[in-house]
């Protein structure tokens, strides 16, 4: 996907819509990188709600820093500035990157597929790299390679905190190895960045969580709230054998809805900027005026659902010298055209998380044009204004994809011989299901679209085991809708974020750490928006464990400078970002430990 920031807006409305779609594009596929320097990040000021609205429709929590454990926190801030600690952090992640823990889509069960054995050396490495964690916390191995660490508290009345990450990485394409600045499993440190597969997804999260706990043990911290760490090993290939097994273990050990807060990988802080001569229109960030910028953090409170629908068309075979009017492939092509010509209808409602993202942007960000900003703020109480906002934002294709259910024809098969009529042809249709829809609604929409074509071409139609057409009538062939790979996943439950104690602790920690790391303590220089992912994380297996599930990595992606991203060549991370992530996890553990309303 092209970087949205490279696109020159053709008009002010187009530019506004692009700015509104950027945050969710950024956090969901993690490709958003900026050319802004760290010094520019320091000087950002925010729009104040009173400029546009008498009351704040997107109230921001107060930055939260450890109080009871202030001495432990202050000690970390000092220690993290030393060269010795930075060297240790580099060593931790570099060593983890050098062990290639790749997971593939076609891997067999643990114990049968030898490729899983790559995680043995990784476990050994973690044990040696973080000795205090492994001598203090209990460690359980689930389905051989899943890891669960438990730091038991002295207070059983407080629900535990669960931090998660995954050990696996996507494989490196052998054809691209020579395009890497540094070899993908070298863990090379160039004095500023660590390079290699997993530096940004997700060994950075796993290593900084363990580093945070290693520090807390060394500082003499004794948790009042039990801390649990869970690390899956096949997140990049659906997570069934990793997090799927871990969820069962955690349910059996702790019980349903037993965790106060779950934090997994997800959205990151990002800087959005406006040009000096036009603060109401988004454009490329070159030469922006710092006072018109805004820094946002985008923890995800939900995820889209998912299903791969296989559409199979069957018709009589025979010699191609005597062809029918339509072969199976021709019939299938007609159906593909119908599906692409009729996307799932999209509407914007106040119940959709993206609506609240819009409200927050209109309230706190300078990237929204005057007309659109006013329409969004009016829509808080006006249904008519809501329709205006819907018409404005949904004209942008990327925003429509963010809000609604998407459909993509991704795989096609049919025919075996040039002179033989194909008896069968099929496609796989990938769906990402809106948070206000469902798997059944998605299936029904596809089935309803195809039913008139089934009648027109005299084909029977069976949708996921349900016979749609009259089975007593003779038919020329058949249409079958199925999910042979068992991919059904409902949209995730929306975690609370309005007046939620758990979201308040998370957002307050994000704000405090962001400001403290940049020497801005005492100021509030970052806003936190609720958002959602149109990809899926291991949290798909953890819904029964807590109502408070948030997906967030405190990794400053604006410091990647376009040199490499997730799942592609030249993946890298700055050591400064790692240090900030460690601070974030330490602060989150301490702040959660001190919270009395979770």
pLDDT in tens, 10-44: 444 444 554 555 545 443 333 223 322 222 233 33
Q: pLDDT, tens digit, for every residue of 554-598?
A: 986 555 555 667 888 999 999 999 999 999 999 999 999 999 999
Tell me which of 201, 202, 234, 235 is the catalytic residue. Answer: 235
Strand ranges of the sheet holding 270-272, from the earlier edge strand across to the other edge: 270-272, 294-297, 527-528
Query: What is the rounded CA–CA span in Å between residue 229 and residue 175?
Result: 36
Query: What is the rounded CA–CA span in Å between residue 559 and residue 155?
Result: 40
For 66-81, give one letter per residue: b (16+ CB within 10 A) or e: beebeebbeebeeebe
Apex 439 CA angle, 264 and 302, nearest 5 = 25
DSSP-derived letter for residue 70 is H
For 125-156, give one letter per residue: b (16+ CB within 10 A) or e: ebeebbeebbebbeeeebbebbbbbbbebeee
For domain 305-482, which architecture applies?
Answer: 2-Layer Sandwich (3.30)
Number of other residues whose CB lies within 10 A of the CB of residue 232: 32
Q: pLDDT, tens digit, for every residue of 471-508?
A: 988 899 999 999 999 999 999 999 999 989 999 999 99
The predicted structure's pLDDT at residue 206: 98
Asked if domains 70-269+555-594 and 305-482 share a fold, the reply is: no
Strands, E, within 388-467: which ranges?
406-414, 420-421, 424-433, 459-463, 466-467
pLDDT confidence tier of residue 3, bands split at 50, 70 and 90: very low
Q: How far apart are the first and last CA of the chain?
A: 40
- Own/partner pairs, 178-187, CB within 8 angstroms, 24+ separation: 179/569, 179/570, 180/569, 180/570, 181/563, 181/564, 181/570, 184/569, 184/571, 185/97, 185/98, 185/99, 185/100, 186/97, 186/98, 187/93, 187/94, 187/95, 187/96, 187/97, 187/98
Asked if 141 contacts 207 with a C-beta cutoff of 8 angstroms, the reply is no
235 noted as active-site residue: yes
Query: What is the rounded CA–CA span in Å between residue 85 and residue 524?
Result: 28
Q: Is 597 buried (19+), middle (13-18) or exposed (0-12) by CB count in 10 A?
A: exposed
Q: Which residues pair with 486 in a beta bridge?
A: none
Q: Does residue 52 have a pLDDT over 50?
A: no
pTM: 0.88
The predicted structure's pLDDT at residue 312: 98
168 noted as active-site residue: yes
Q: pLDDT, tens digit, for every residue of 249-280?
A: 999 999 999 999 999 998 776 654 433 333 33
Tell me the CA distances in angstroms from 204 to 48, 255, 571, 575, one per residue in order. 34, 29, 11, 10
Quick one: which of 502, 505, 510, 513 has its CA closest to 527? 510
Give the fold, CATH level 3, of 70-269+555-594: Aminopeptidase (3.40.630)
Domain coordinates of the chain in residue numbers?
70-269+555-594, 305-482
Tell me which of 16, 168, 303, 308 is the catalytic residue. Answer: 168
SS3 (DSSP) at 187: coil
Q: pLDDT, tens digit, for every residue of 115-148?
A: 999 999 999 999 999 999 999 999 999 999 999 9
Asked if 63 contacts 512 with a C-beta cutoff of 8 angstroms, the reply is yes
Query: What is the rounded CA–CA span in Å between residue 386 and residue 402?
Result: 17
Please state the rounded mean pLDDT for residues 346-352: 93
């Amino acid at each position: 996907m092209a970087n949205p920031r490279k696109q020159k807006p053709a008009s002010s409305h187009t530019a506004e819509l692009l700015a509104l779609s950027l945050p969710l594009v950024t956090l969901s596929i993690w490709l958003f990188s900026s050319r802004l320097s760290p010094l520019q990040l320091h000087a950002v000021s925010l729009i104040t709600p009173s400029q546009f609205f008498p009351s704040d429709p997107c109230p921001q929590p107060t930055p939260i820093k450890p109080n009871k454990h202030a001495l432990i926190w202050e000690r970390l801030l000092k220690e993290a500035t030393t060269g010795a600690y930075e060297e240790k952090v580099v060593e931790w992640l570099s060593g983890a990157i050098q062990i290639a823990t790749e997971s593939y889509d076609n891997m067999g069960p643990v114990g049968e597929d030898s490729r899983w054995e790559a995680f043995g050396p990784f476990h050994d490495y973690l044990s040696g790299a973080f000795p205090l964690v492994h001598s203090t916390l209990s460690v359980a191995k689930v389905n051989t390679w899943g890891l669960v660490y438990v730091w038991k508290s002295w207070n059983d009345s407080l629900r535990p905190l669960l931090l998660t990450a995954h050990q696996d990485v996507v494989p490196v394409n052998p054809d691209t190895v020579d395009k890497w600045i540094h070899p993908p499993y070298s863990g090379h440190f160039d004095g500023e960045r660590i390079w290699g597969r997993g530096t940004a997804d997700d060994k950075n999260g796993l290593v900084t969580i363990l580093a945070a706990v290693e520090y807390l043990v060394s500082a003499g911290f004794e948790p009042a709230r039990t801390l649990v760490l869970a690390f899956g090993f096949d997140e990049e290939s659906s997570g069934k054998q990793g997090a799927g097994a871990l969820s069962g273990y955690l349910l059996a050990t702790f019980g349903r809805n037993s965790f106060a807060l779950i934090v997994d990988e997800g959205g990151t802080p990002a800087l959005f900027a406006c040009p000096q001569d036009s603060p109401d229109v988004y454009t490329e960030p070159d030469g922006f005026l710092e006072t018109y910028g805004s820094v946002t953090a985008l923890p995800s409170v939900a995820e889209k659902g998912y299903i791969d629908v296989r559409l199979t068309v069957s018709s009589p075979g025979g010699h191609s010298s005597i062809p029918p009017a339509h072969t199976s492939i021709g019939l299938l092509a007609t159906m593909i055209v119908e599906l692409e010509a009729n996307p799932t209808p999209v509407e914007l409602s106040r119940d959709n998380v993206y609506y609240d993202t819009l409200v927050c942007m209109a309230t706190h960000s300078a990237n929204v044009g005057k007309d659109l900003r006013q329409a969004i703020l009016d829509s808080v109480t006006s249904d008519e204004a809501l329709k205006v906002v819907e018409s404005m934002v949904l004209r942008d294709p990327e925003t429509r994809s963010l809000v609604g259910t998407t459909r993509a024809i991704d795989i096609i098969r049919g025919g075996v011989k040039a002179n033989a009529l194909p008896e069968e042809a099929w496609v796989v249709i990938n769906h990402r299901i809106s948070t206000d829809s469902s798997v059944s609604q998605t299936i029904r929409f596809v089935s309803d679209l195809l039913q008139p074509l089934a009648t027109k071409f005299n084909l029977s139609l069976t949708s996921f085991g349900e016979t749609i057409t009259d089975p007593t009538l003779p038919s020329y062939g058949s249409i079958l809708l199925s999910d042979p790979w068992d991919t059904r996943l409902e949209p995730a439950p929306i975690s609370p974020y309005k007046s939620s104690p758990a979201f308040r602790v998370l957002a307050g920690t994000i704000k405090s750490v962001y400001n403290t790391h940049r020497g801005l303590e005492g100021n509030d220089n970052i806003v936190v928006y609720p958002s959602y992912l149109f990809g899926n994380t291991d949290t798909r297996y953890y819904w029964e464990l807590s109502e408070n599930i948030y997906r967030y990595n405190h990794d400053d992606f604006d410091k990647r400078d376009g040199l490499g991203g997730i799942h592609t060549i030249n993946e890298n991370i700055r050591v400064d970002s790692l240090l900030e992530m460690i601070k974030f996890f330490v602060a989150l553990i301490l702040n959660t430990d001190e919270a009395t309303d979770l």
